[in-house]
């Protein structure tokens, strides 16, 4: 395999989660002649092993020979995963082909209800509440692709022809395209086009980036690998929107949050990122990360009471609320998130965890995950009608086009108004996270001689950056508070 700029980026997002070498080398008592090890790693646990380019297979063989189990070589991203023992760890620390060894963190979904609803509650008329049907006279999402990082997307008849790519970063041997059901439900809210059910942007295309297994669990390297794929393939598939119906409690300022730097790299590369506010409301400061990042479009849940009238709409009690740790008022918009109908995948975890009396193709769910997918559909409509809009302009259009909700400072998304309203000025004065600044400074992507404390980010032409030449490996990790990175809850779903 030829190694070039694309290869550097292929390794980029995996490297970012564990590149604490600079700080670790300065820790007293650490043997600098040995491979650096994540201090949170369980010597008898699963490890994520970064290796020199082209050596994954050989290192995997060596790990097995030393006694490791469940060994996998991920050669395309120069990674090996394995279950260790203290003796195996000792042997691997002496292997010159290994860059570092980190805990292969588990990532999970954590939602309000881990199953489809099975009661008589009135369903949300979501498309009508969002004025999506009115917007279809101007835009239907044609020409826009939405990427989903989730449990996968099944071959549901209402998505026929919609899914243009499926990439599996879990690699668990699952026979089903979506053994969890969650991803298909979200894809339906965005782009379904059946006789009886339509998503918000029925002509949009879908890219499925599977990062979670049948039980809604996965590993952080899968999520980062998905971001890596997204950055490399966004132009090929015309990806304009990324849906993240995922989240975890914000541990530190976005300037020091790993996920903030990662999502900002997609945002500034021209992909509109839509993220869940989370379901930990109504207390202040309950916005999830990456939704707590100030750049992205953060979505909270709207309780529409199952009616099309706006007078009874309220912000859902469970929906995450700001301010964030950096003082940003979030979420940015609300969308239906209670008793929302979308596509059912029979036999999945969502289907099996509760007795199911229906054999139909549709089901209901509650949570900001659904709200997020609906707004991703609205973002696709805006981009379909305004192809030259940047992510910031899409966000501005959603905010400006939103309507007032009684008792809430956050507007409800309105698709029709967002198409015809001049975008509001949003993200004014924001600075990218220190993680991303370090990346750009070290890679030379913005040129030399820049004072990072005085640069006007609004004046930067992000579209001129060649993101394929950016190398996460070159980041100076002195600015990252690794103690604030929660390795075992770095990403949780907010279903």
Q: Which of 369, 371, 408, 443 is catalytic?
A: 369
Q: Is 469 exposed, middle or buried (0-12, 13-18, 19+ CB in 10 A)?
A: middle
List Cα–Cα distances, 32 to 22, 151, 468, in angstroms. 11, 40, 32
Q: Say whether 53 is catalytic.
A: no
Helix (H, G, I), strand (E, B) or coil at 7: helix
Q: Point out the catalytic residue in the list 115, 156, 182, 219.
A: 182
Question: Do residues 241 and 146 touch, judged by C-beta distance below 8 A?
Answer: yes
Q: 364 is written with which tokens?
A: 């209901």
Owner of token pair 């990346």: 439
Question: Is residue 219 exposed (0-12), middle (13-18) or buried (19+ Cβ within 10 Å)?
Answer: buried
Helices (H), 158-245: 182-191, 220-233
Q: Look at residues 371, 384, 369 and name the one whose alpha carbon lies nearest to residue 204.
A: 384
With a CB cutoff of 8 Å and minimum separation 6, the contacts of 307 are: 125
Nearest-10 Cα torsion for 154, 215, 174, 221: 100
461 is catalytic: no
The verdict on whether 420 is a catalytic residue reads no
**What is the Cα Rg of the chain in Å?**
22
Considering the candidates 95, 104, 150, 228, report the single residue annotated as catalytic: 150
Q: Catalytic residue positions?
A: 150, 182, 369
């Amino acid at each position: 395999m030829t190694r070039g700029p694309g290869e550097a980026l292929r390794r980029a997002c995996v490297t970012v989660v564990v590149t604490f070498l600079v700080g670790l080398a300065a820790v007293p008592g650490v043997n600098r002649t040995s491979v650096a090890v994540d201090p949170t790693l369980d010597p008898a646990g699963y490890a994520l092993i970064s290796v020199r380019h082209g050596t994954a297979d050989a290192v995997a063989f060596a790990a097995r020979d030393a006694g490791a189990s469940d060994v996998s070589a991920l050669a395309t991203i120069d990674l090996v995963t394995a279950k260790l023992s203290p003796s195996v760890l000792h042997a691997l620390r002496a292997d010159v082909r290994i860059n570092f060894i980190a805990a292969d963190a588990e990532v999970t979904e954590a939602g309000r209800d881990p199953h489809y609803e099975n009661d008589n509650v009135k369903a949300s008329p979501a498309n009508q509440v969002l004025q999506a049907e009115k917007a279809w006279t101007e835009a239907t999402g044609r020409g826009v692709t939405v990427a989903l990082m989730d449990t996968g997307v099944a071959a549901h008849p209402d998505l026929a022809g919609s899914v243009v790519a499926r990439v599996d970063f879990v690699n668990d041997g699952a026979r089903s395209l979506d053994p969890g059901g969650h991803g298909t439900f979200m894809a339906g809210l965005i782009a379904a086009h059946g006789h009886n059910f339509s998503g918000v942007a029925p002509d949009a295309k879908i890219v499925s980036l599977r990062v979670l297994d049948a039980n809604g669990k996965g590993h952080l390297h899968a999520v980062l690998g998905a971001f890596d794929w997204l950055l490399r393939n966004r132009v090929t598939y015309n990806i304009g929107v990324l849906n993240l119906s995922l989240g975890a409690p914000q541990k530190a300022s976005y300037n020091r949050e790993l996920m903030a730097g990662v999502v900002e790299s997609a945002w500034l590369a021209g992909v509109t990122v839509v993220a869940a506010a989370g379901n930990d409301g109504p207390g202040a400061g309950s916005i999830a990360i990456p939704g707590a990042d100030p750049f992205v479009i953060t979505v909270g849940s709207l309780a529409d009471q199952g009616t099309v009238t706006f007078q009874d709409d309220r912000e859902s009690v469970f929906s995450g609320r700001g301010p964030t740790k950096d003082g940003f008022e979030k979420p940015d918009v609300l969308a239906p998130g209670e008793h929302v109908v979308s596509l059912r995948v029979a036999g999945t975890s969502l289907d099996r965890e509760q007795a199911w009396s229906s054999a139909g193709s549709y089901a209901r769910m509650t949570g900001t995950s659904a709200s997020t997918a609906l707004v991703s559909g609205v973002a696709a409509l805006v981009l379909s009608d305004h192809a030259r809009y940047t992510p910031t302009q899409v966000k501005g259009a959603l905010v400006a086009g939103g309507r007032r909700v009684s008792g809430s400072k956050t507007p409800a998304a309105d698709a029709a108004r967002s198409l015809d309203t001049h975008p509001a000025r949003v993200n004014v004065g924001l600075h990218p996270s220190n993680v991303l600044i370090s990346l750009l400074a070290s890679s030379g992507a913005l040129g030399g001689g820049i004072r990072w404390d005085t640069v006007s980010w609004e004046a930067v032409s992000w579209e001129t950056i060649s993101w394929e030449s950016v190398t996460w490996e070159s980041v100076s990790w002195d600015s990252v508070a690794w103690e604030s990175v929660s390795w075992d809850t770095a990403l949780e779903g907010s279903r």
